[in-house]
Amino acid sequence: MSTMKDIFAIHQAEYDMLPDCASAAPAIVKILGEHTDFTDGLVMAACLSFEVKIAISFRKDNSLRFYAADFNERKRANIVTLKYKREDRWANHIKSICDYFWRTFDLEPKGLNVTIQSTVPLGLGLGISAALNMATANIFKTLYNLDLRQDELAFHAWKAQSTFFDKEVPITNYLGITAPAGRSLSVIDLRLKKRRGIQFLPEPWEMLLTDSKVPRVSVEAELEQRIADCNTCLSVLAAGQNRSIREIEPRELDELLGIVPERKRRRCLHVLEEVRRVSEAEDAISRQDYVSFGKIINKSHASLRSLYEISCPEIDWLTKRALELDGVLCSRLVGQGFGGCTLTILKREEKETYINKLEEYERIFGFRPIVHEVSTGAGLRILEH
């Protein structure tokens, strides 16, 4: 990962003034439970060393100026006509925080200069949207002296995006970003909208993200179909009851044989088993049983492949080849699926062997994968100049 330039210097060069406040927020990888958020699921996540940095200074007019340093791209808005614009893309996230926080906390709107900087790889499902919102919300909390706990900040940042974009997004990434710095994981309970921390694997275990570089178009329709399939099963099993898939027992799905298509039953089975896998993995880590933890992660990938059906040959090849190495604990698809990347947890001394093995991948599939060495991150924080 490349070293980030000093955001204070970038901001000053762009606006001819130092920022009044700057914040960083980490990217998130969901190790288990990623596709259970629509049904009050459980998710195990880790903050990464990839992060988004935001710097803000007040202006003396009603203008909002946005500068994305990585793309050398600029956007403009105005306090009086503040609204979502599709062409503003990344700037909409900052605007959502401005709009929501000014209204919700009855704050005096002020013109802003905003600088954005990121090391988060795009398109891999690492929560860059939540990181943008959380870093900005953290600045608003500081500049306006708001008395908010971290979980409250996450709730408001989540509401800001959901309201401004007029589409409710999962709160998972927002809560995950509130994890403290260090080698820790989060278990996020989406029914309670709460996170709890657990210890990550000790050294020498490390994480690698391998971007398959598989080209893909939008996968939203495919994922929506899987959610619809799961909800079909739930509507039959829990007709007239206020239940989620999380509360169904696997044996209950047997009652759907001949009633609901087998494809829908398999997808529902993945979701309910995945929720249980999060609890099992948390228990394995608490007992320092890392072998069992790795097996649970590997079972999850097998289920994503065979039951939820969102993997692809390239991803399956990457996970299978990784597991052939003695020093690899587990390897699994992360993100939306149908391409994207794998998360591999392995011993430090095995990294070079693993990376060399990927030369074969390029010969077979024609794509050159990118390996990102990542660690648990420094957490959500205000930056000192």
Q: What is the pLDDT of residues 32-74, one digit of tens each?
A: 999 999 999 999 999 999 999 999 999 999 999 999 999 999 9
The span from the CA of 308 to the CA of 229, in Å, is 10
The span from the CA of 278 to the CA of 110, in Å, is 44
pLDDT at residue 202 greater than cutoff 80: yes
Q: Is 334 domain-assigned?
A: no
pLDDT at residue 4 greater than cutoff 80: no
* Predicted local distance difference test score (pLDDT) of residue 362: 93
Q: Phi-psi bin for 123: left (phi > 0), alpha (psi -120 to 50), beta? A: left
Q: What percent of the chain has pLDDT over 90?
A: 92
pLDDT at residue 76 greater than cutoff 50: yes
The span from the CA of 289 to the CA of 285, in Å, is 6
* Predicted local distance difference test score (pLDDT) of residue 98: 98
Q: Is 77 domain-assigned?
A: yes
Contact 161/173 with Cβ under 8 angstroms? no
| CB neighbourhood size of 127 (10 A) | 27
Q: Is 187 domain-assigned?
A: yes
pLDDT tens digits, one per residue of 210-258: 999 999 878 999 999 999 999 999 999 988 888 899 999 889 999 898 8
- For residue 216, give both structure tokens: 């893909």
Q: Is 148 domain-assigned?
A: yes
- For residue 287, give both structure tokens: 């007992």
What is the CATH number for 168?
3.30.230.10
The span from the CA of 270 to the CA of 250, in Å, is 10
Q: Which of 48, 27, 30, 47 is nearest to 278 (CA)?
A: 30
Q: Which of 228, 246, 229, 248 is nearest to 238 (CA)?
A: 248
> Angle, to 10 degrees, between the axis of helix 290-306 and the axis of helix 313-323?
160
Half-sphere exposure of 201 (CA within 13 A, CB side): 23
Q: Is 207 domain-assigned?
A: no
Question: How many folded domains does the chain comprise?
Answer: 1
pLDDT tens digits, one per residue of 113-160: 999 999 999 989 999 999 999 999 999 999 999 999 999 999 999 999
Global confidence as pTM: 0.95
Alpha helix (H) ranges present in 18-111? 91-104
315 alpha-carbon distance from chain centroid: 19
Contact 135/54 with Cβ under 8 angstroms? yes
What residue type is assigned to position 10 of the chain?
A: I
Tell me whether residue 311 is exposed, middle or buried, using C-beta atoms within 10 angstroms of its C-beta: 0 to 12, 13 to 18, 19 or more.
buried
The span from the CA of 139 to the CA of 383, in Å, is 10
Q: Is 111 domain-assigned?
A: yes
Three-class secondary structure of residue 167 per DSSP = coil
Q: Is 153 domain-assigned?
A: yes
Structural domain harbouring 93: 7-200+377-382
pLDDT tens digits, one per residue of 250-285: 899 998 988 999 999 999 999 999 999 999 999 999
Which residue, chain included where needed, has tokens 């959500």?
A: 380
Alpha helix (H) ranges present in the chain? 7-15, 91-104, 128-143, 150-164, 172-177, 220-237, 250-253, 262-286, 290-306, 313-323, 351-365
By residue count, the chain amounts to 385
Q: Is 274 domain-assigned?
A: no
pLDDT tens digits, one per residue of 272-330: 999 999 999 999 999 999 999 999 999 999 999 999 999 999 999 999 999 999 999 99
What residue type is assigned to position 206 of the chain?
A: E
